[in-house]
Amino acid sequence: MSELRFDVVGAEGPKRYFEGLTQQRLGHAYLFTGPAGVGKKTFARALAQSLLCLAPKDALLGYDGTCASCLLFGGENARHPDFLEHRGVLRIGDPDARAGFYESEQLSARDLIHQFSMQSYSGGMRVLVLGDVAFATHEAANALLKFLEEPPRGVLMLLTTATPARLLSTIRSRLVEIRFPLLSKAQVREVLGGMKYASQESDLAASLSGGSVARALATLQSEEESLRAQVVRWFFDSVAGKSPQDSWATRETLEDGLETIKTLVRDWIVASGGDGIALVSLDQAERLRRLQPLDPRAAVALLGKLDDAQRLARTNVSPNLVGEFVRMALTGSP
Ligand SMILES: [Zn+2]
């Protein structure tokens, strides 16, 4: 028997779940939930490769990486005819959608039904992976419901989403939900290492990642100034009582920006204690240690205000106003 592997970092719970299943007990449709960037799609792809791998095996998870089927999973652009993956936001049933599964960002309900009804090329299973699904029409939702009610033989559907609450409850209730937790810092570093990032870069990005590879990669992007760099400058200006030159806060950036500020404030508190606990924002350690130390009462009040800001960010309050609220909290204005 050849050596089998399953190259997914983290995801211990999902691994245990699928390791405990046999081919016969495998369901027809699973919903992978969890924060963005923790490996839901990577897992879905590796599960598909395991199911389609031709090597003899007892377990559900694992592939040899060398058989004729595995060769079609090589690299980023898997082209196994029985494995279909849709990347990007999926708007099933959008009347403007073009036909085709790989070529188009959009997939119509008719495409979906067509994909479900096709026979396997290799005589085995067919696996469909659908990324974040947004149903544009009832027709689309109905197509999926029909699949879930009368699943065709040999088809496995894997849906992934970071926002399961946005799925129709009639659909969600028919899927087996598998939760993916945040990765540890060491696991994010391991994933980045596999992508050939230098170890120093990986260390910083992993410590800022909050357990998400997507967030780690965002901090590694250097083409334009990252959101984090803007927020860091704004933070130190605000704390120094200077009026920041520009605001970073928009509807899109608010959540991540506030998270960055929270990390900086926690580091500021740690630096104020001076008891040698490692900071998360390694690259800002010098500047944080030079700040006026925060006394414990002020620290608690500031963290409370940041919680308030995060709650405000989920309402219709303007992002600029939320930013201003945080700036005032940082300068200690009442
Ligand atoms: Zn194989």
Q: Are 125 and 269 in a shared domain?
A: no
Residue 185 lies in a domain: no
Name the helix (H) or strand (E) containing 216: helix 213-220
Answer yes or no: are the C-beta atoms of 309 and 329 closer than 8 Å: yes
What's the gap in Å between 11 CA and the centre of ligand 1?
22
CA distance 41 to 235: 35
CB neighbour list of residue 197: distance below 8 Å, 6 or more residues apart? 205, 220
Q: Which pLDDT does position 258 carry in this prediction? A: 94
- The per-residue pLDDT for 106 is 53
Residue 45 sits in a domain of what CATH number?
3.40.50.300
- Distance CA(56)–CA(33), nearest Å, equals 30
List, for residues 1-43, the tens digit of each pLDDT value: 568 999 999 999 999 999 999 888 899 999 999 988 899 999 9
Does residue 206 lie within any of the structural domains?
Answer: no
Query: CA-to-CA distance for 314 and 300, rounded, in angstroms?
Result: 22
Contacts of 252 (CB under 8 A, 6+ apart): none
Q: Please give the full DSSP string across 223-240, using - where no structure is assigned.
A: SS--HHHHHHHHHHHHHT
Tell me, yes or no, whether 151 and 253 share the same domain. Answer: no
Distance 2 CA to ligand 1 centre (A): 9
Gap from CA of 64 to ligand 1 centroid (Å)? 4
CA distances from 42 to 147, 165, 221, 308 (A): 24, 22, 21, 35
Residue 76: what pLDDT?
Answer: 63
> Does one domain contain both 18 and 166?
yes
The confidence score (pLDDT) of residue 63 equals 95
Q: Are residues 124 and 230 in the same domain?
A: no
Structure token digits, residue 232 = 């860091």
SS (H, E, C) 243-296: CCCCCCCCCCCHHHHHHHHHHHHHHHHHHHHCCCCCCCCHHHHHHHHHCCCCCH
How many structural domains compose the chain?
2
For ligand 1, the distance from its centroid to the CA atom of residue 75, given in whole angstroms, is 14
What pLDDT, on the 0 to 100 scale, is given for residue 87?
Answer: 64
- Expressed as residue numbers, the domain containing 19 is 12-179
Residues with CB under 5 A from ligand 1 (ion): 53, 55, 63-64, 67, 70
Ligand 1 centre from 328 Cα, in Å? Answer: 58
CA distance 264 to 229: 12
Q: What is the pLDDT of residue 98?
A: 40
Q: Is 276 left (phi over 0), alpha (psi -120 to 50) or beta?
A: left
210 in a structural domain:
no
Residue numbers of the chain with a pLDDT score lower than 70: 1-2, 75-78, 87-113, 132-140, 222-225, 274-276, 333-334
The kind and range of the H/E element at 207 are helix 199-208
Token look-up 């998870």 returns: 61
Cα→Cα distances 61→26, 29, 147, 198, Å: 12, 17, 25, 31
- CA–CA dist 87, 117 (Å, integer): 21
Identify whether the C-beta of residue 178 lies closer than 8 Å to the C-beta of residue 162.
no
CA of 73 to the centre of ligand 1 (A): 9
Q: How far does residue 67's CA lie from ligand 1's centre (Å)?
A: 4
With beta carbons less than 8 A apart as the criterion, state whether 84 and 127 touch: yes
Q: How far is the CA of 16 from the centre of ligand 1 (A)?
A: 21
Which pLDDT score is estimated for 46? 94
228 and 146 assigned to the same domain: no
Give the model confidence (pLDDT) of 274-286 as tens digits: 666 778 888 888 8
pLDDT number for residue 99: 36
175 with 31: CB under 8 angstroms? yes
| Residues 252 and 317 reside in one and the same domain | yes
Distance from residue 311's CA to the centre of ligand 1 (Å): 48
Within-domain flag for 208? no
Judge if 45 and 135 occupy the same domain.
yes
Phi, psi (deg, nearest 5) at residue 175 = -105, 145
Cα 24 from chain centre: 30
Distance 80 CA to ligand 1 centre (A): 12
Identify the pLDDT of residue 97. 40
Q: Do 243 and 305 have their domain in common?
A: yes
